[in-house]
């Protein structure tokens, strides 16, 4: 009987040990439930990270325009000249720029004066009910002539202001049509020029 009890106890211990070993083996086995759960969690974390990166907006570079040079002109050697002409000097460019500034001020004054004159003419034309046809025709001609001169002056003002802007951005002296040098001698006589002689002649023939 004692031997039977020992045998039963031994079988019970063996069964308990076998179950413990099996449980430990299942937990430690590669690809088991614990390993697969950890792998799926890592995959979800990686996918979430990729989505977050994809959702992050891309920054675009901002281009800042260059400010005009302090004195209104750049280094003289960037302004083109025709073959055989001496390069621009800083003194020549400053003299040219000052002349354009004076021209802008003068043209503005002329336009303001002409606008007052035109306003007076318009008032006179309304009050001249007793004028004969000759007087009315003369007043109309004078008014239209004054308006035409004022428009011409506005065009010269626009050209002078454009020349100052071109000096400031470094494109002064290059033909706006073909890109060739306008010519230093031509610009010293007519600083508002924007076309070389060839392109100007072609434009006038149209």
- Measured distance between the N- and C-terminal CA atoms of the chain, rounded to whole angstroms: 133
The reply to whether 9 falls in a domain is: no
Report the SS3 class of residue 50: helix
Distance of alpha carbon 160 from the chain centroid: 24
- 140 vs 37, residue with greater confidence: 140
> For residue range 145-159, what is the model confidence (pLDDT) as tens digits?
899 999 999 999 999
pLDDT, average across residues 99-112? 96
pLDDT, average across residues 161-188? 95
Highest mean pLDDT among 31-35, 90-94, 116-120: 90-94
Picking from 115, 103, 112, 118, the residue whose alpha carbon sits closest to that of residue 159 is 103
Q: Count CA atoms closer than 13 A to 202's CA, side-chain side.
A: 8
The reply to whether 46 falls in a domain is: no
pLDDT score for 102: 96
Distance set, CA 143 to CA 91, 124, 127, 135, 156 (Å): 43, 10, 15, 12, 20
Band of the pLDDT at 121, cuts 50, 70, 90? confident
Band of the pLDDT at 90, cuts 50, 70, 90? very high
> For residue range 33-84, what is the model confidence (pLDDT) as tens digits?
444 444 444 445 444 444 444 444 433 333 333 456 777 899 999 999 999 9
The reply to whether 26 falls in a domain is: no
Cα–Cα dist 170/172, whole Å: 6
pLDDT score for 1: 42
The reply to whether 164 falls in a domain is: yes
The reply to whether 152 falls in a domain is: yes
φ, ψ (nearest 5 deg) of residue 174: -100, 135
The reply to whether 105 falls in a domain is: yes
pLDDT, average across residues 119-136? 70
Residue 168 belongs to domain spanning: 80-205
Helix axes 90-127, 133-169, angle to 10 degrees: 160
The reply to whether 8 falls in a domain is: no
**CATH number of the domain where residue 122 is located:** 1.20.120.910
Looking at the structure of the chain, the number of domains it has is 1
Q: Which ranges in 31-181 belong to alpha helices (H)?
A: 33-55, 90-127, 133-169
Cα–Cα dist 71/52, whole Å: 51
Cα–Cα dist 136/197, whole Å: 43
């Amino acid at each position: 009987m004692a031997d039977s009890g020992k045998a039963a106890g031994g079988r019970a211990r063996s069964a308990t040990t076998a179950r413990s070993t099996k449980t430990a083996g299942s937990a430690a086995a590669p690809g088991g439930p614990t390993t697969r759960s950890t792998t799926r969690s890592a995959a979800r974390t990686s996918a979430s990270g990729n989505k977050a990166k994809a959702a992050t907006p891309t920054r675009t570079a901002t281009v800042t325009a260059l400010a005009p040079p302090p004195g209104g002109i750049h280094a003289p050697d960037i302004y083109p000249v025709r073959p055989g002409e001496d390069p621009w000097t800083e003194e020549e460019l400053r003299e040219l720029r000052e002349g354009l500034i004076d021209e802008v001020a003068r043209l503005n004054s002329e336009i303001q004066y002409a606008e007052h004159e035109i306003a007076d003419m318009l008032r006179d034309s309304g009050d001249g009910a007793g004028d004969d046809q000759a007087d009315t025709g003369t007043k109309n001609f004078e008014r239209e002539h004054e308006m035409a001169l004022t428009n011409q002056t506005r065009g010269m003002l626009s050209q002078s202001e454009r020349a100052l802007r071109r000096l400031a951005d470094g494109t002064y002296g290059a033909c706006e049509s073909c890109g060739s040098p306008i010519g230093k001698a031509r610009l010293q006589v007519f600083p508002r020029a924007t076309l070389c002689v060839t392109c100007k002649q072609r434009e006038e023939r149209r």
